Amino acid sequence: MTTWWDVRDANRPLAFTSNPLARPVTEAHDEAWVRAQLEAPGARFLPLRRLEALVAGEDPVLAWQDGSALRGMAEGAFPVFLGTLEGVPHFAVAVNDLETGEASRFVDARTLAAQLPATEVGILGQARALVDWHARHQFCAQCGAPTEHIEGGARRRCTRCDARHYPRVDPSVIMLVEHEGRLLLARRATAPGNRRSCLAGFLEPGESIEEAVAREVFEEAGVVVRDVRYVTSQPWPFPSQLMIGCRATAVTDAVTVDGIEIASAEWFDRAEVRAAVEGRSAVLDIPGSIAIAYHLIRGWAYETP
Amino acid sequence: MTTWWDVRDANRPLAFTSNPLARPVTEAHDEAWVRAQLEAPGARFLPLRRLEALVAGEDPVLAWQDGSALRGMAEGAFPVFLGTLEGVPHFAVAVNDLETGEASRFVDARTLAAQLPATEVGILGQARALVDWHARHQFCAQCGAPTEHIEGGARRRCTRCDARHYPRVDPSVIMLVEHEGRLLLARRATAPGNRRSCLAGFLEPGESIEEAVAREVFEEAGVVVRDVRYVTSQPWPFPSQLMIGCRATAVTDAVTVDGIEIASAEWFDRAEVRAAVEGRSAVLDIPGSIAIAYHLIRGWAYETP
């Protein structure tokens, strides 16, 4: 059997993976070391304005700046240490505004994910998730006092009760559900036109990945599944999901949707799904290639059972 | 090839999975419906005192109480809705103390995980994770104001800025690392005696499961891996991890540990690992069967390549 992995589009790695930066483990927890990196020759800073990243060029690349980027730093912001590449430290910094060259501009991460080189998309995902987390975690959930960033932004510490807070990553399951050669795709109530995708949802406390898949499919489509199998995963920085891609076999094909969150869920055969992947379907429009859903659906469309 | 799944110990499902409670999706977001469940005939309440659960009996079972359990409720606590079983609503409630029958007592969840029926361990994991999350998230991380529980405790809402806060689940990777028929097991600096286990660590923002596995193995043991494969997963309510079990192949067998967090990491052959699983090793002691590590290691020990 040809599997998902054999037919993946190797020229399009999952967006937001492929981050080449390394964090020196011991050093990254050392405040003095991280501070010294700010002054290191060649240190690079990626400005984000309202979570949009600065890019330059017609085929855009991240517009890394030198320390002068810190002059535009937003109130309460600080340079978040991302890691090093060949010894060169890289930081992300939230800015209010910045004098930039003519050719540079701020662009949102979804748009950039389809345009930047894969390694830069990886860095961008990490930068966006961390900068956003700091902005939304200025206070201690335990006691309400202000928190401060420590260790270059790897965590925060409460200034009153000393509790440590770690960046949040929210695991979510997203799944191919198949039944006798057909694939279940759902239309969210808020989705445009013929856009349909895999069922998906957040994993809840107290459940395994396999249990979360079964629960979500039953909740959203009324379908009972067996044989849940993991396929692949993707970080998704909107704001901080870990997308866990799975597949499962439906026991029956009767579908019941709530009509509120999910407007409809229907079964599509391989010919219909291939037409959608190839952009020649009049009835089915699937997510773009930055989403894990695209890769799951595309893999299913071309695999040979 | 016989795989991990074929040789799993089916009599010992992974602890904290197997929760039989269901949450009616639409109703569980309806405040009036959840409040009505508190009064429902037969509603069951699981008291937790300092996160220890009330149990009864020599072969213990959870000591579900009727609404009178609410009289012992701790300050700031409330009944957290867990779900229904055959229509009967189940809640967990943090108590300061409680008049209990002679035979009942409060016991910690790690001990109970090896003693309760599997379905009750599943409920206990959900209850512990949620009760603990509420206790540690009384304030808004965004603005510092007090938060209040809504929807039976499925989320919290800021009383000032109206931000919604969701229970946290922290994905962590734990992995079998093998090299030419031998398994890499590490001794944590804090571990007792010969206790060794799989390498493990939290997934960070901006990385996939596969990338997290490779990073952690390199950070903790200096070993480069290829072919990362997912095996299985387990919720781990201490306080709220999702353990993502994987395996990977080491490119070389040279090991370098930091000597701080990890005291040592060594390679063990199948005969040695089997002896440890069977409790007859003088040099190797592995985690107990409530941990996913036990199942990963046991599966590897008995699989036939």
Express each pLDDT in A109-158 by its tens digit. 999 999 999 999 999 999 999 999 999 999 999 999 999 999 999 999 99
Strands B44-49 and B52-56: antiparallel
In a domain, B220, yes or no: yes
Given a cut of 90, whether residue A98 has pLDDT beyond it is no
Per-residue model confidence as pLDDT tens digits over B165-216: 999 999 999 999 999 999 999 999 999 999 999 999 999 999 999 999 999 9
Whether A223 and chain B come into contact, CB under 8 Å, resolves to no
- B234 contacts in A (CB within 8 Å)? 208
CB contact under 8 A, B206 and A168: no
The two structure tokens encoding residue B48 = 């937790």
CB contact under 8 A, A26 and B258: yes
Mean pLDDT of B243-268: 94
In a domain, B291, yes or no: yes
- A20 contacts in B (CB within 8 Å)? none
Whether residues A209 and A267 fall in one domain:
yes
Q: To probe the interface with A, which of B16, B17, B169, B223 has the most A CB atoms within 10 Å?
A: B169
Whether residues A34 and A113 fall in one domain:
yes
The two structure tokens encoding residue A262 = 């999910």
Given a cut of 50, whether residue B1 has pLDDT beyond it is no
What is the per-residue DSSP string for B109-134?
HHHHHTTS-HHHHHHHHHHHHHHHHH
From the list B130, B136, B202, which residue is nearest A142 (CB)?
A: B136
Per-residue model confidence as pLDDT tens digits over B111-149: 999 999 999 999 999 999 999 999 999 999 999 999 999
Whether A252 and chain B come into contact, CB under 8 Å, resolves to no
Whether residues A214 and A286 fall in one domain:
yes
Per-residue model confidence as pLDDT tens digits over A196-247: 999 999 999 999 999 999 999 999 999 999 999 999 999 999 999 999 999 9
Q: What is the CATH number of the domain that holds A86?
A: 3.90.79
CB contact under 8 A, A139 and B138: no
Whether residues B185 and B86 fall in one domain:
no
In a domain, A158, yes or no: no
Model confidence band, residue B28 (pLDDT cutoffs 50, 70, 90): confident
Provide the phi-psi class of A127: left if phi over 0, else alpha when psi is between -120 and 50, else beta. alpha
Whether residues A228 and A289 fall in one domain:
yes
Whether residues B203 and B104 fall in one domain:
no
Q: Which of residues 2-31 of A touch B (CB under 8 A)?
A: 14, 16-17, 19, 25-26
Whether residues B252 and B205 fall in one domain:
yes
- B25 contacts in A (CB within 8 Å)? 219, 258
From the list B206, B230, B240, which residue is nearest A230 (CB)?
A: B230
A213 or A3, greater pLDDT: A213
Q: What is the CATH number of the domain that holds B261?
A: 3.90.79.10
Q: What is the pLDDT of residue B304?
A: 82
- Judge whether A82 and A130 are in contact, CB under 8 Å: yes
In a domain, A128, yes or no: yes
Model confidence band, residue B7 (pLDDT cutoffs 50, 70, 90): very low
Q: What rounded mean pLDDT belongs to chain B? A: 92
Per-residue model confidence as pLDDT tens digits over B33-46: 999 999 999 999 99
- Strands, E assignment, chain A: 44-49, 52-56, 61-62, 80-85, 88-94, 104-107, 147-150, 155-158, 164-165, 170-179, 182-188, 199-202, 225-236, 241-250, 262-269
Q: What is the pLDDT of residue A11?
A: 54
Q: What is the pLDDT of residue B11?
A: 54
Among A136, A155, A183, identify where a domain stops: A136
**Those residues with Cβ within 8 angstroms of residue B52's Cβ, 6 or more apart along the chain or in another chain:** B106, B107, B108, B109
Residue A128 domain boundaries: 25-136
Given a cut of 70, whether residue A9 has pLDDT beyond it is no
Can you tell me the distance from the alpha carbon of B25 to that of B72, in angstroms, rounded to the nearest whole number? Answer: 30
Per-residue model confidence as pLDDT tens digits over B78-99: 999 999 999 999 999 999 877 7
Q: CA nearest B16: which of A209, A219, A228, A246? A: A209
Among B136, B160, B193, identify where a domain stops: B136
Hey, which residues does B186 pair with through a beta bridge?
Answer: B197, B265
Model confidence band, residue A5 (pLDDT cutoffs 50, 70, 90): very low
Nearest CA-CA distance, residue A271 and chain B, Å = 30
In a domain, B6, yes or no: no
Least reliable range by pLDDT among A19-33, A143-157, A266-280, B267-281: A19-33
Whether residues A126 and A32 fall in one domain:
yes
Residue of chain A with shortest Cα separation from B148: A141
In a domain, B8, yes or no: no
Nearest CA-CA distance, residue A273 and chain B, Å = 26
Nearest CA-CA distance, residue A123 and chain B, Å = 8
**Those residues with Cβ within 8 angstroms of residue B253's Cβ, 6 or more apart along the chain or in another chain:** B179, B180, B182, B223, B267
Number of structural domains in chain B? 2
Phi, psi of B187 (to 5 degrees): -105, 120
Whether residues B179 and B113 fall in one domain:
no
CB contact under 8 A, B141 and A145: no
Can you tell me the distance from the alpha carbon of B296 to that of B30, in angstroms, rounded to the nearest whole number? Answer: 41
Hey, which residues does A73 pair with through a beta bridge?
Answer: A95
Q: To probe the interface with A, which of B23, B90, B121, B204 has the most A CB atoms within 10 Å?
A: B204
Given a cut of 80, whether residue B25 has pLDDT beyond it is no
From the list B126, B166, B170, which residue is nearest A206 (CB)?
A: B126
Whether residues B179 and B293 fall in one domain:
yes
In a domain, A148, yes or no: no
Whether residues A175 and A257 fall in one domain:
yes
Whether A60 and chain B come into contact, CB under 8 Å, resolves to no
Give yes or no for a cis peptide into B239 (omega within 30° of 0): yes
Among A136, A158, A192, identify where a domain stops: A136
Phi, psi of A152 (to 5 degrees): 65, 15
Q: Which of residues 133-152 of B touch A (CB under 8 A)?
A: 133, 136-146
Least reliable range by pLDDT among A65-69, A121-125, B249-253: A65-69
Model confidence band, residue B232 (pLDDT cutoffs 50, 70, 90): very high
Cα dist. A2→A53, A272, A300, B11 in Å?
Answer: 39, 20, 10, 33
- Judge whether A196 and A262 are in contact, CB under 8 Å: no
CB contact under 8 A, B139 and A144: yes
Whether residues A187 and A119 fall in one domain:
no
Whether B259 and chain A come into contact, CB under 8 Å, resolves to no
Q: What rounded mean pLDDT belongs to chain A? A: 92
Given a cut of 50, whether residue B246 has pLDDT beyond it is yes
Entry pTM: 0.95
Model confidence band, residue B294 (pLDDT cutoffs 50, 70, 90): very high
Provide the phi-psi class of A279: left if phi over 0, else alpha when psi is between -120 and 50, else beta. left
In a domain, B15, yes or no: no
CB contact under 8 A, A169 and B170: yes
Given a cut of 90, whether residue A76 has pLDDT beyond it is no
- Judge whether A235 and A245 are in contact, CB under 8 Å: no
- A130 contacts in B (CB within 8 Å)? 205-206
CB contact under 8 A, A145 and B143: no
Q: What is the pLDDT of residue B109?
A: 98
Phi, psi of A245 (to 5 degrees): -85, 125
